[in-house]
Chain A
Amino acid sequence: MRAYEIELILSRQLAECLSIPVFLTDTGGTLLFYNEPAEEILGRRYEETGEMPVEEWSIIFKPLDDSGSPMDPEDLPLVQTLNNCLPAHGSFWIESLKGENHKISVTSFPIMGRGNRFLGATAIFWKIK
């Protein structure tokens, strides 16, 4: 049994303390955690979804552009961060699992641990409409 890296454990603990929505993944994009404020936007409690691969969550939490068309996962800030280990930012619509549409702004950044180890990514987001 191996525990997660301490940087991921502390990222989750910080996310649990924040009132801004936070979404945490590992380096492969697998969803590790999202906090209670994120649950309100995504429409489902984390306990109900659990960990989930990027191919799954990028479709379940439907990202839409301004015309209402589905977005390519590669255009999502979090996926860009995972691909290039750099911060990214963007705004788009998301259709929650409750069927509600929210326009959100997302900023994502890589979790670079001690020794410059790439360990995952965090996205913070908030509703703008």
Chain B
Amino acid sequence: MKVRILGTRGSLPSTNPQTHRYGGNTACIEVTNDDQLFILDAGTGVLKIEDETTTFQNRYDILLTHLHIDHIQGLGFFKPLFNPKNEVHIWGPASSSRSLQNRLNRYLSPPLFPVHFRELPCEKVLHEISRSSFSIANLQVEAEYINHPGPTVGYRITNGESVFTYLPDHEPFLGNRGWNLGKRWISGMGLAYKADILIHDSQYTSTEYPTKIGWGHSSIEQAIRFASEAEAKKLLLFHHDPNHTDEQLEYIYQSYAGFKSDELEVELAIEGSVFNLR
């Protein structure tokens, strides 16, 4: 299983010379395993994925964590959607009242977008998920609702040997007095438990977080504490704030050196980086 990071930024694309190193594209991850490809979120990073139908047998799977704009902004520019030979499966969290198609239509229609979702020439298959387990080729996927405003799921993906967990927008600390409740009472913990690689929200510094409580994001300190509690092996700090430059991110990262442990490797997620799992 190969994990390629195509977009690391949260909230708003911020591609400029000051964000060049860690990247300015919004959330998108490519996962490949043998001849299977799927994509986690369709932020602006999704533009880097080409239509390689011969490699991937005309099937693409996009797993959306939620429908905030930074996670679907690139969807209308996803090249395989414009090839009638392709079958594109879009997986996303069920809402209490509106269908996934209805919610996607709100973005993929005028006046926000010139082309209606229904007019895209590929074959489109929508899947509404909640607390779900399903297989895509030989990968097993688990999804659960996690703590973030609006219907939002996280994903745990395994090929039987390695575990990759993706929680890009997540505020497990909200209203949580501490970590002594037991792991089962922490949002997202079942998905992240003993993951080989955990991508987790870390948008804010500890100084910024108190003014943004309930916005659905975590501080870097909280992300490290969550990953430690989950006994993850590697944490990739993700969903970089659009206001944080490369220089600031590195300064912030260094200031959290004391929170790290020997059991947990912590890195800032870098756009373009690739991780190979067994």
Q: Do A and B bind each other?
A: yes
Q: Mark A1-28, 1 if CB is under 8 A from B, else 0.
A: 1111111011011101100000000000
- Interface residue from B145, B181, B191 paired with A114 (Cβ < 8 Å): B145
Q: Mark B159-196, 1 if CB is under 8 A from A, else 0.
A: 00000000000000011110001011111111101000
- Interface residue from B177, B184, B187, B189 paired with A16 (Cβ < 8 Å): B177
For chain B, give the interface size range.
20 to 34
CB-CB under 8 A from A14, the residues of chain B are 175
Q: A1-B193, A17-B175 are in contact. Are A6 and B187 (CB under 8 A)?
A: yes
Q: Chain A: which residue is nearest B148 at the CB level?
A: A6
Q: Chain B: which residue is nearest A7 at the CB level?
A: B145
Q: A114-B96, A115-B94 are in contact. Are A6 and B184 (CB under 8 A)?
A: no
Give Cα distance in the complex from A13 to B185, angstroms: 9
Interface residue count on the A side (C-beta < 8 Å): 19
Q: Chain B: which residue is nearest A13 at the CB level?
A: B175
Closest Cβ–Cβ distance, residue B175 to chain A (whole Å): 4
- Interface residue from B144, B174, B175 paired with A3 (Cβ < 8 Å): B144
Q: Is the CB of B184 within 8 A of A2?
A: yes
Q: A1-B190, A2-B184 are in contact. Are A16 and B175 (CB under 8 A)?
A: yes
Q: Chain A: which residue is nearest B188 at the CB level?
A: A3
Give Cα distance in the complex from A113 to B96, angstroms: 8
Whether B205 sits at the interface, judged by CB under 8 Å, is no
Closest Cβ–Cβ distance, residue A32 to chain B (whole Å): 9
Give Cα distance in the complex from A32 to B130, angstroms: 22
Report which B residues bind A (CB closer than 8 A).
Answer: 93-96, 128, 130-131, 144-147, 151, 174-177, 181, 183-191, 193
Report which A residues bind B (CB closer than 8 A).
Answer: 1-7, 9-10, 12-14, 16-17, 113-117
A-B pairs with the 10 shortest C-beta distances? A13-B175, A3-B190, A2-B190, A6-B145, A3-B189, A1-B193, A115-B94, A115-B130, A3-B184, A114-B96
